[in-house]
Amino acid sequence: MTSHHVWMGMSPPETFRDEPVTVQVRGPYAAFTRPVFTSERLSYSVMTPTAAIGLLSAIFKAIGLTPPNWLLEAPLNTFLLIAVMVWIQTGFAMVVLSAAMKAVPDDIIEASMLDGAKGWARFTRITIPMIWGSVIVVLTTITVTSLKVFDIIRTMTGGNFQTSVIANEMYQQSFRALNYGTGSALAMILFLGVLPLIIFNVRQVRKEREVH
């Protein structure tokens, strides 16, 4: 544990003399604060944990390096949040794209092989065009999800340490600061940002239905 002290000369009331007070601090990383009153000074100590936990921290320690504060240091925390989001969406993208690739007719693949098309040429000139609708669905869905992401930010950093996004800021302004006008404006910005992607996705689906 590490502590940072701020000393202020003052004469506190007699009722606070030599009686430490522990106050729980809200936030994912501050353990607690400890104001200590004495007859001569006030000590305000903020305690933060330094114990390294987790797989990455264990690897750093095993090779003799000091692990960083993964979710406190910018821009490292931003890249780690992006990695979490990519990992969450990988399963959805894999299921949709693999199903689309399996739906490509075998006779078309065999005809391209007879014409001398190699693996990369078959993939870029035959497979991709035939599953392009599914690619658009995956891209637009992941983009919309990324624009309105809230749960990952809220649970991992609380929007602190330069990681706040529109959805989290909308929540903060509406339900924590009670600035309903600002929260509504942020909600409209988010809606206007997502709307073009939804319209584009709907048009692509309609084009596919017309072709089939």
Q: What single string gives the DSSP state of each residue in 117-152?
A: --HHHHIIIIIHHHTHHHHHHHHHHHHHHHHT--HH
Closest-CA residue to 166 (of 138, 139, 185): 185
CA distance 119 to 123: 6
132 and 41 in a common domain: no
pLDDT at 167: 92
68: in domain = no
62: in domain = no
Closest-CA residue to 128 (of 150, 109, 156): 109
**pLDDT tens digits for the chain (212 residues)?**
444 444 344 444 444 444 444 444 444 444 434 444 444 444 444 445 555 678 888 899 989 888 888 888 889 999 999 999 999 999 999 999 999 999 998 888 888 888 888 889 889 888 998 898 889 889 988 988 888 899 899 988 888 888 999 999 999 999 988 999 999 999 999 999 888 888 888 888 787 777 66
- Start-end of H helices in the chain: 55-62, 76-102, 106-114, 119-122, 128-130, 132-147, 151-156, 166-171, 180-211
CA distance 26 to 29: 9
Q: Domain limits at 185?
A: 76-211
171 and 135 in a common domain: yes
Closest-CA residue to 139 (of 204, 80, 93, 94): 93
Tokens read off for 170: 């909308």
Tokens read off for 89: 């969406």
80 and 40 in a common domain: no
pLDDT at 79: 93
171: in domain = yes
- Enter the pTM of the model: 0.65
Closest-CA residue to 152 (of 67, 88, 56, 65): 88
167: in domain = yes
pLDDT at 10: 43
65: in domain = no
pLDDT at 83: 93
Number of folded domains that form the chain: 2
111 and 35 in a common domain: no
144: in domain = yes
58: in domain = no
pLDDT at 2: 42
